[in-house]
Structure 1
Amino acid sequence: MDLEERLGILAENAKYDVSCASSGSRREGRDGIGNAASCGICHSWTSDGRCVSLLKILLTNACIYDCSYCINRRSNDVPRAALTPEEVAELTIGFYRRNYIEGLFLSTGVVRGPDHTMELLIRAARLLRETHRFNGYIHLKLVPGADPLLVEQAGRYADRVSMNIELPTRESLKLLAPDKNRDAIVGPMRTVSGLITRSREERRVSRKAPLFAPAGQSTQLIVGATPESDLQIIRLAEGFYNRLAMKRVYYSAFIPVGDSRHLPALPGPPLLREHRLYQADWLLRYYGFAAHEVLDEARPDLDLAVDPKCGWALRHLHLFPVEVNRAAYEVLLRVPGIGVRSAKRIVRARRQQHLSFDDLAKLGVVLKRARFFLTARGKRLETLDLGESVLRALLTAPAPRPKARQLSLFDGVGGDESVSVLTGEL
């Protein structure tokens, strides 16, 4: 195959890995080309309104593993291709100079063994950093089972590293990915977490101390390939955030990519479930919720009809309404329709005056939801004593359109939710 054909195959197969995001890195380009800005470096919109992009490719889609859920598994009959580290470096620099990209997301199948594969990834990153003096964003995938010294070396060149946990439990991993070992995945995650912490402490002492994955680490979970509940998934994510200081946990709706007696026969990817898990994840990261508050043993799965924050509020109607002019910031965050930014605006604005519902609308509060759970100056917009069933009917998203389409960060499930998802206002 020529280079263009190989690139087409490897870029197409890279789309199944969703764990790439804004960098959070401040690697400055002083004596080379490019830079990684903290405002974000990914195929998305940054906080200042820019659209930036990554070259997202696999080094190779050949793999010695036979994971049932993976399109690149050993037993799957698909066209195989590979790039050399030198070709990856040349492609990245070529695309950057043409202003097509601002960084690189490099993943791979496993060839020969974890250490050999990891060495190839590191060589590509080293060529970019040392030969081409590229200071832009680099995200490297870590290979489960690779030597810890190689993991440390990868983090010296990359802005972000990631290793996919893929499935929530040991049993599921053993069933669908018998060549992989959970300890070989979680162990390096702990190593990376410790190295990031050590690097940040060293940087406080000396700004000349070497960087190690300044944008942190991330991971990915496949949703719907195995029977685990949403509660199990959210608890696992909470553990990653609390114990490993994980930057992000990504959720990928299972897409059937072949026949296997171990895989469920789904009519389509569970995209709405994936969407709800991202919303629940947002509550853990920014809204002060714990996993046991979002879900419990009595309700182990997320309600697809309403977002998780509304679901929690409907189960705790005895806590509402709250007075917007007196409620603590942490309490405001739990009101449906009030997000992190609008809660901060409320706290600042009420120092100057008592807020009304008209003021709340100007501050970005989504009154379509918040009006049922708030009072302003002691008054309510809704005079009826609404029960849970009425509230649920008012808050439930409308039925989906006949033609389904994949949800994105810019697509709400209904009504004004498109705005709330984009701005983080749940």
Structure 2
Amino acid sequence: MEIEKKLEFLGKAAQYDLCGEACSPMVHRLKDDLGRWLYPAVLPDGKRVVLLKVLLTNACVNDCLYCANRAGRDCPRMAFTPEELASTFDALWRRGLVKGLFLSSAVDAKPDDVMARMVAVAEIIRRRYGFPGYIHLKVIPGASKAAVEALARWATRISVNLEAPSPEALKRIAPAKNFTENLFAPIAWIKELVEEGKVLLPAGQTTQFMVGPGGEKDRELLRLAQSLYRDFGLRRVYYSAFQPIPDTPFEDHPPTPAWRENRLYQADFLIRRYGFTVEELPFDSEGNLSREGDPKLLWALKHPEFFPVEINTADYYQLLRVPGIGPRSARRIISARRKGNINCLEDLKRLGIVTKRAAPFITLKGKKPTFQMSLI
């Protein structure tokens, strides 16, 4: 019963760490008949699986102002031993309840000591139990390069939570952390380790920002995200809308609205998959994205010189600038054109295009289709 209690408690405590498109605090967890907490997630290859997402411990020596696990907060504390957690995961895997592990931890000792316990969990799972699948491991702030390398040897994916886009913003939410030494340096180390062939990391590395309490602007977040993608090869940047937690210094701080998190993901996707740059995105005078419309549509409305785009002749990247057309549907259009012209909105709809959004910005064989504008 003690192990089950730890799994229930530390599984719930892991809800604030994001690990995939469907692995967030707003996604419903799956509870099995023994009360264990499991999370649906989309892996980097697009497969939908269930992960055991859990903390090694929620005991922490750090006092980050927003965090549920901060040292100054009066709450129960628990911890797994590596043996306990590894054997628990193995039992869940062999029962077919989970297909992977996401492991993070609060910091109850020196960072390298915590990392060593996380390494022990992964090593036991891989070597003793023969698990060949997905393991996502979270780097502890302040860990050494040697500790990061040891952790990465067992991981499919690894992540470092930057929390904020600048040293100034980080100081507002985690005054004791050093942005460059504790957080950004490990990202560079991981890139170096992969390039040197010392670790594999088939699913690469990711990071996460806490959005709101640091006073950062959307432009700051997205400018750093762009650099992380281009210069460090990150696979994903995750954005977590701040929600106040009782008995923390930020318990009365206003929550970050969900629409802001959504706009950041929309803009991030434009940078990552659509060929946009941060400089092109439609920020307001304060450097934030608008609540009123998604950034791709607002860009299109501000750039009438780019439109209309002729569906039957536009190249891939021209098609991607059209609202309602994404990477997959752009490829379908190009494929369909090899068989003949696309003549009407019904043809586009069959290809998966959101025609209500696309129609104002396109022509079909030189003619504008009829449409009804929408900002949704």
The TM-score normalised by the length of structure 1 is: 0.80
Do structure 1's residue 104 and structure 2's residue 101 form an aligned pair?
yes
1:296, distance to aligned residue in structure 2 (A): 4.9
Within-5 A mapping of 1:267-286:
268-286=255-273
Gaps of 5+ in 2: 23-38
Do structure 1's residue 395 and structure 2's residue 374 form an aligned pair?
yes
Do structure 1's residue 127 and structure 2's residue 114 form an aligned pair?
no
Question: Quick one: distance in 2 between partners of 1:366 and 1:21?
Answer: 22
The 1:310–1:372 alpha-carbon spacing in structure 2 relative to 1, beyond 3 Å, is: same
For residue 13 of structure 1, what is the aligned residue in structure 2? Answer: 13
For residue 207 of structure 2, what is the aligned residue in structure 1? Answer: 219
Do structure 1's residue 175 and structure 2's residue 172 form an aligned pair?
yes
Contact 1:225/1:264 (<8 A) preserved: no
Within-5 A mapping of 1:38-57:
43-44=40-41, 51-57=48-54
For residue 30 of structure 1, what is the aligned residue in structure 2? Answer: none
| AA matched with 2:361 | F
Question: Quick one: distance in 1 between partners of 2:59 and 2:297?
Answer: 45
Do structure 1's residue 379 and structure 2's residue 367 form an aligned pair?
yes
Question: Quick one: distance in 2 between partners of 1:21 and 1:313?
Answer: 26
Contact 1:19/1:219 (<8 A) preserved: no
The 1:279–1:251 alpha-carbon spacing in structure 2 relative to 1, beyond 3 Å, is: same
Question: Quick one: distance in 1 between partners of 2:185 and 2:52?
Answer: 29
**Helix, strand or coil for the counterpart of 2:153?**
helix
Question: Quick one: distance in 1 between partners of 2:46 and 2:318?
Answer: 30
Among 312, 332, 345, the alignment partner of 1:345 is 332
Contact 2:193/2:199 (<8 A) preserved: no
For residue 305 of structure 1, what is the aligned residue in structure 2? Answer: 292
Aligned length: 359
Contact 2:172/2:214 (<8 A) preserved: no
1:244, distance to aligned residue in structure 2 (A): 0.6
**Helix, strand or coil for the counterpart of 2:332?**
helix
Within-5 A mapping of 1:1-400:
2-20=2-20, 43-44=40-41, 51-183=48-180, 184-199=182-197, 211-258=199-246, 265-266=253-254, 268-296=255-283, 298=285, 300-357=287-344, 358-382=346-370, 394-397=373-376
The TM-score normalised by the length of structure 2 is: 0.90
- Farther off after superposition, 285-294 or 224-233: 224-233
Contact 1:255/1:269 (<8 A) preserved: yes
Question: Quick one: distance in 1 between partners of 2:208 and 2:46?
Answer: 26
1:129, distance to aligned residue in structure 2 (A): 1.2
1:261, distance to aligned residue in structure 2 (A): 5.5
1:259, distance to aligned residue in structure 2 (A): 5.1
Root mean square deviation, CA, Å:
2.2
The 1:336–1:264 alpha-carbon spacing in structure 2 relative to 1, beyond 3 Å, is: farther
Contact 2:307/2:362 (<8 A) preserved: yes
Question: Quick one: distance in 1 between partners of 2:21 and 2:292?
Answer: 28
- Farther off after superposition, 334-343 or 190-199: 190-199
| AA matched with 1:293 | E
Question: Quick one: distance in 2 between partners of 1:229 and 1:178?
Answer: 19
Contact 1:20/1:139 (<8 A) preserved: no
Gaps of 5+ in 1: 23-41, 200-209, 384-390, 398-426
| AA matched with 1:163 | V
The 1:224–1:151 alpha-carbon spacing in structure 2 relative to 1, beyond 3 Å, is: same
The 1:395–1:198 alpha-carbon spacing in structure 2 relative to 1, beyond 3 Å, is: farther
| AA matched with 1:366 | V
- Farther off after superposition, 44-53 or 224-233: 44-53
| AA matched with 2:374 | L
Q: Deviations over 1:24-46 (max 9, x none)?
A: xxxxxxxxxxxxxxxxxx72357
Question: Quick one: distance in 1 between partners of 2:2 and 2:247?
Answer: 31
1:72, distance to aligned residue in structure 2 (A): 0.3
The 1:137–1:332 alpha-carbon spacing in structure 2 relative to 1, beyond 3 Å, is: same
**Helix, strand or coil for the counterpart of 1:44?**
strand
